[in-house]
Structure 1
Amino acid sequence: MHPPSPAPAANRRTARLPRGARRVQLLRAAQDVFVAQGFHAAAMDDIADRAGVSKPVLYQHFPGKRELYLALLEEQVSGLADRVADAMAATDNNRARVDAAVGAYFDFIDADGEAFRLVFESDLRNDAEVRAIVDRGIGRCVEAIAEVIAADTGADPERALLLASGLTGLAETSARWWLPRKGTVSRDEAVSLMSALAWRGISGVPRIDGGHAPD
């Protein structure tokens, strides 16, 4: 990992901001530092310096590095879950839903700052509280997809959740594999390929009306 680049001089002056705006600023600075250095190597001094604030200002919002990390992690997993839920709610066309669900993972992993590393590659993944936050967020993604699968197929909750977890696993793994290779395969082509693969499987599950989803 490489240390984050210094904040621009204009951003290094502490200015009065509303509490909510200051919190966002600090979270973005923390994201840069944690992604670059990992939790254990990062220091509150680094984060305060990146944000252009004094350490007392940082401690006014977060009592310690762990609390700051957990708040950032919660924000990231919630953002991913919201992307997937929005994909499920955006259309009644199930083929389009699969495409949007896979695309949600690609967009999350391709977002600026590689914040996905906090969720999927954290050096705190064995920490019980970190694992609980990540599992809760991933669970929301799986549940959003499972609800649609159950409604269409009549599958019982456990089988619907199993199918949904397969789709989210495919999307996450393929998006992480694709990221360092995106110069050779575009985002749209990658999403199209992986959603087609997923659709060929999911569309074969019998629908509640006795038919199958159209190709």
Structure 2
Amino acid sequence: DSTEAIGSRYQDKLVGSFGDSAIFAFAQPSALVCGEGAMIVTDDTETVSRLRQYRARGISERGSVVAPTRPPLQAEMSDIQAAIGLVQLARLDGILQRRQQVEALYFERMKSFEGIKDPYHGPDATAVHWFVYEVHLGTRFSRSSRDAIVTDLRAQGVEAASYCLPMHTQSYYRERGGGHCPTAVRVSDRTLILPFHPRLGEEEIAFIIETLKDASVNVGAGAAIY
């Protein structure tokens, strides 16, 4: 799943250009949004054939009872969604550039919080485009205080949210012996996301950060984070 890294590069290879196949979903808050749907990329012709058969039955096959080898899922996008997606795909470089500018504005404002550092880039990540703008609260914060901050932000019209639950705590993995990962839980309990899209302006970002600072004081954990 390369949705959250569209435009990024690993060891100077564009995500989606290596591996057996990769998927890019087109729902919010992805950089490439056309409502719903997704795209799978692969250079394996057998995989392409199987995926197309799963996606939908071709017009030429609709009158045949033997042509399809597996039941179709009728999972194709609409032509309207595809048209919107193609237009955005042509503008993707500009969209990603603007999102990087928004990230930089956030970080400039966030530097007045104690101990905030640049987001971590792994040594093999030669280009990084973020899916959401995450804030990690310091150890003085608890899950309940994080939730209170999110509530305060949303009361002021800021679409903040907690983000996200560790996979091993979700029922599918828990029922299969997902294990115990206390560090992942601690990080998750102190993580929230802020609005992140190309149309955010400097004044809006300043308001969001000031509201976040006020909310962190309101929960009694102090103004500093991290």
* The structure with more helix, counted as a fraction of residues: 1
Under TM normalisation by the shorter chain, which class is it? under 0.3
Normalising by structure 2, report the TM-score.
0.23
Higher Rg: 2
* The structure with more strand, counted as a fraction of residues: 2
**Higher RCO structure (Cα 8 Å, ≥6 apart):** 2
Normalising by structure 1, report the TM-score.
0.24
